[in-house]
Amino acid sequence: MLAPVPKSYVYEPPTDPWLTVLHSDDRMLVLDKPSGLLTVPGKDPALADCLEARVRERWPTATMVHRLDKDTSGIVLMALDKKSLGDLGQQFEKRRTRKSYIARVWGAMEGDSGLVDLPLATDWLNKPRQQVDHERGRASQTEWRVLEREPQATRLHLTPLTGRTHQLRVHMLALGHPILGDQFYATGEALAAADRLQLHAQELTFYHPDDGRELTFISPAPF
């Protein structure tokens, strides 16, 4: 059984490097977010430091196109003007983008690949946790493929076909293989097996808002 969600915690975002920019032009930025850094600020002033705030020190008009969980690392896309924001946002909404993640999960996965098709909804008694909910949940699909088998864990390539909150984390939990180091969904040995969430947004493909050319950016997993 999962432990109660902590009511408070000390937010200590990483500061070195302060900002990792994979690409910049007049329309957009591609960044590599470290684990432990919020994508956007929280309501509490103590949660003001975030990727968005750091970027706006150099690019005041930068706006998030999509987000990653605080503990997930990897590629994040930002727009530098309203037209680009609208164009890139539509690509995510209409699923024209392609995203893939690397994860290490607890235990030995049965088989070499598969599809998780389980609807997800907010667990209102334990926000911000999500849960499988066949009555009220929104359709959610994740493709998975084994990359490497370890003595007590499995390294996976994950492709979310939808973009629900905590989707990959809850889908892996539902298979009985929580992601290592997941403070929301892992317990016992799976939680203690890593000092951070072992989930990384490794690859993102989308189309440039100016000329429509296809772009792919890759950030190798740091674990």
**Which positions are catalytic?**
69
- Alpha carbon 199 to its chain centroid, in Å, reads 7
Listed residue (181, 190, 197) closest to 73, CA to CA: 197
d(CA 220, CA 101): 10
* Residue type at 24 in one-letter notation: S
Whether residue 17 is preceded by a cis peptide bond, meaning omega within 30 degrees of 0, is yes
If phi over 0 gives left and psi between -120 and 50 gives alpha, with beta otherwise, what is residue 27?
alpha
d(CA 64, CA 79): 6
The sign of the dihedral angle between the CA atoms of 72, 2, 127, 100 is: positive
Contact between 104 and 180 (Cβ < 8 Å)? yes
- Alpha carbon 175 to its chain centroid, in Å, reads 19
